[in-house]
Every structure is written in structure tokens, then in C-alpha cells.
């Protein structure tokens, strides 16, 4: 009898969706609930943007920026910490300079190719919840479950403002809403890997749901998909 090859297969759950839909913290908590690791792809684009700015390179200068993306080593530690060229990612990756700049960097096809390759490499050795705008559509189209997490723009602006206030930062909700709408438009109309819902994604509208409810809903859906009754 020919024995069937046992191929180690790691699980991949993806969460796509627009800015401020709560993808990141839902993905982190879902990963913890499932015992999977969390892959924050936005942090990788932010780290590259930070490196580009730190080197004084113009974010619009395509080839130079793509070269930085290829050359920057991005590793995730076992406890989910991003390391950039061997160092803990600096808080500046979440700062204003990086937040104001990333669209030029993340729209760069060379940057995207480099990030997608790094993200797929991570998935070769562990179960993952991967979060980002293209994780289900481009990076892992064969993932076990692909969610598209959405919420009304005004609710997304409210959540982001509440988050900033909780961190003792001043928050102008109208300005945040305008920024979210600009980012949605830029991210959904760019030629390379636009934000989109693709066939087979599980669309979840989180408007009016508290975060623990969203996490529990997704956890149940994953269990149903992976171990059907």
C-alpha cells in the first residue's frame, strides 16, 4: 500500500478591510484566542516607510524605495514583536511622519512584491492570523478563512478618536474622518493591490458591535470552517 504523504500544513486566517475597521486589534485577539500567531502586515509597510524617511529618501522615488524594502530585514519574534534589521521596531513607525507618508510607499509595486514574499515566508512555519488590506485577496488567496472586516466611515473615525484619547492624544474626529475617506479612496483606486473584496471572502460589518463581540463572532466562524460539525 502506498502511504499518503503527510504534508505539514499551517492554518492561515486573513483579515482584510479598510483603515480603522479594527482589523489590527481584532486580529491580535483572534490570534490569541486560536493560539495562532498574529501577522500585522501594516507594521511591515510602516517599518519600510520609517526606514525610507530615516534615510532621507523621497517616498516617491520608486527604485530607491523598493531597494530599501528589499534590503530591510523584518522578523517577527515568537511573542509577536516586529524587529527591523535586528532591532525592536521604534514607536516612530506609528507616529505622524510615517502615518502621513505611507501611501506612496505602499503603492510601490517593488515594495509590495518584497512585502508579499516576506509575508508568505512567515506563513511557512506557523499558524497565522494575517491582517492587512490585501492579505486575503493577494498574499494568501488560499487561506483557510478570509474575512473582510468593515464598518461605516463615521464609526471608524469615532473608534480611532476614542483610541487616541485613551492614549492621551488630542483627536479631531472630523479631521480623522476626512483622512479615513482619503485613505479609502487612495487604497481602493491604486493600480497595484487595491483594497477589494474578492469572491469567497466572509464580509463582516462591525458597525455597532463591540470588539469582544467581533472577536467571538470570527472565532466561531473559524471553528465552523475548520472543524465542521
Q: By the criterion CB under 6 A, which residues form the site for ligand DC?
A: 19, 41-42, 45-46, 102-103, 106, 132-135
Residue 76 CA neighbour count, 13 Å, CB half: 20
Compute the least distance from the CB of residue 209 to ligand DC, in Å: 20
The number of helices, as runs of H, and strands, as runs of E, in the chain is 9, 8
Cα 37 from Cα 35, distance rounded (Å): 7
Compute the least distance from the CB of residue 117 to ligand DC, in Å: 13
Cα 23 from Cα 14, distance rounded (Å): 10
User: 134 and 17 in contact (C-beta within 8 Å)?
Assistant: no
Identify which of residues 90 and 226 has a Cβ nearer to ligand DC in the complex. Answer: 90
Direct distance between the N- and C-terminal alpha carbons of the chain, in angstroms, rounded to an integer: 31
Compute the least distance from the CB of residue 7 to ligand DC, in Å: 27
* Look-up of cell digits 464580509: 203
What length is written for the chain? 229
Identify which of residues 94 and 219 has a Cβ nearer to ligand DC in the complex. Answer: 94
Identify which of residues 102 and 153 has a Cβ nearer to ligand DC in the complex. Answer: 102
Compute the least distance from the CB of residue 189 to ligand DC, in Å: 13
Identify which of residues 29 and 46 has a Cβ nearer to ligand DC in the complex. Answer: 46
Identify which of residues 34 and 138 has a Cβ nearer to ligand DC in the complex. Answer: 138
User: 216 and 24 in contact (C-beta within 8 Å)?
Assistant: no
User: 130: helix, coil or strand?
Assistant: strand
Compute the least distance from the CB of residue 130 to ligand DC, in Å: 8
Amino acid at each position: 500500500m502506498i502511504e499518503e504523504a503527510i504534508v505539514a500544513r499551517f492554518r492561515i486566517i486573513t483579515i482584510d478591510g479598510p483603515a480603522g475597521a479594527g482589523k489590527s486589534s481584532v486580529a491580535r485577539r483572534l490570534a490569541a484566542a486560536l493560539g495562532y500567531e498574529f501577522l500585522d502586515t501594516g507594521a511591515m509597510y510602516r517599518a519600510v516607510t520609517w526606514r525610507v524617511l530615516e534615510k532621507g529618501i523621497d517616498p516617491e522615488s520608486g527604485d530607491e524605495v523598493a531597494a530599501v524594502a528589499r534590503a530591510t530585514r523584518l522578523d517577527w519574534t515568537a511573542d509577536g514583536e516586529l524587529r527591523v534589521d535586528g532591532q525592536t521596531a521604534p514607536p516612530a513607525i506609528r507616529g505622524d511622519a510615517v502615518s502621513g507618508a505611507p501611501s506612496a510607499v505602499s503603492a510601490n509595486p517593488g515594495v509590495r512584491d518584497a512585502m508579499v514574499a516576506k509575508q508568505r515566508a512567515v506563513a511557512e512555519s506557523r499558524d497565522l492570523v494575517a491582517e492587512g488590506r490585501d492579505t486575503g485577496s493577494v498574499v494568501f488567496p488560499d487561506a483557510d478563512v478570509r474575512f473582510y472586516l468593515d464598518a461605516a466611515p463615521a464609526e471608524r473615525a469615532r473608534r480611532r478618536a476614542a483610541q487616541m484619547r485613551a492614549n492621551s492624544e488630542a483627536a479631531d474626529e472630523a479631521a480623522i474622518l476626512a483622512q479615513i475617506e482619503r485613505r479609502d479612496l487612495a487604497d481602493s483606486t491604486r493600480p497595484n493591490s487595491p483594497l477589494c473584496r474578492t469572491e469567497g471572502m466572509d464580509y463582516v460589518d462591525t458597525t455597532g458591535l463591540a470588539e469582544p463581540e467581533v472577536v467571538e463572532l470570527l472565532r466561531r466562524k473559524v471553528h465552523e470552517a475548520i472543524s465542521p460539525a
